[in-house]
């Protein structure tokens, strides 16, 4: 089984522009590329895990997210960074599109996307990490059995505590997180 780095998209991997599906506005956050490249070189699978309630709210369709995925892949490819997966939850209980307006097990902070990605990609969750900029990301990773890193970049605004909401580590960016992960695994 392989180890993975599960990465939240908006606010962690790319700059957060609410409900953005315009590929021209998708930009990788500063201080990320070198860390992602090092994690790939060490054999970690990189998998994006993202809530996308804009589908349930009627702002865009699932097909728009595949365009965003392709943009991400094209931005990372010149640096020899490959995504092993891109998983999104289109659900939101308060949405207006009936088939998506549900409570689900895949919407973070629940671990459904990580568990599904682990099954599809033969991932050992106990040797994997979830990196995100809010405590819902941390909770999803912890519930799935991963170690977790909170990127403390101002994305978290609620700071609601709980049993699964304490990150293994707190870092400033993905490059720093990669250093911590590699030192954690190889010391």
* pLDDT in the model for residue 91: 98
Residue ranges for the chain with pLDDT beneath 70:
185-187
**Domains of the chain listed by start with CATH number:** 4-30+43-146 (3.40.50.1000)
Contacts of 111 (CB under 8 A, 6+ apart): 105, 140, 141, 143, 144
Choose the catalytic residue: 2, 8, 16, 179: 8
124 is catalytic: no
Longest alpha-carbon distance in the chain: 50
Choose the catalytic residue: 2, 10, 30, 179: 10
* pLDDT in the model for residue 185: 57
CA–CA separation, 161 vs 109, rounded Å?
12
* pLDDT in the model for residue 94: 97
Helix (H) or strand (E) holding 132: strand 129-132
Q: Convert the pLDDT of each residue in 83-110 to its tens digit.
A: 999 999 999 999 999 999 999 999 999 9
CA distances 123 to 16, 43, 100, 135, 166, Å, are 28, 12, 28, 22, 23
């Amino acid at each position: 089984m392989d180890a993975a780095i599960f990465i939240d998209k908006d606010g962690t991997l790319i700059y957060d522009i609410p409900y953005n599906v315009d590929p021209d506005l998708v930009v990788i956050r500063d201080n990320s590329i070198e860390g992602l490249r090092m994690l790939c070189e060490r054999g970690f699978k990189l998998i994006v895990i993202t809530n996308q309630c804009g589908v349930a709210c009627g702002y865009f369709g699932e097909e728009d997210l595949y365009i965003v995925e392709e943009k991400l892949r094209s931005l990372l490819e010149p640096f020899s960074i490959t995504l092993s997966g891109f998983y999104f939850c289109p659900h939101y209980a308060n949405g207006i599109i009936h088939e998506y307006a549900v409570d689900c097990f895949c919407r973070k902070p629940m671990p459904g996307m990580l568990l599904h990605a682990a099954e599809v990609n033969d991932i050992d969750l106990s040797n994997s990490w979830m990196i995100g900029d809010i405590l819902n990301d941390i909770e999803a990773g912890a519930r799935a059995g991963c170690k977790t890193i909170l990127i403390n970049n101002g994305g978290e605004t609620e700071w609601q505590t709980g049993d699964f909401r304490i990150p293994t580590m707190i870092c400033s960016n993905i490059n720093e997180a990669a250093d911590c992960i590699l030192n954690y695994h190889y010391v």
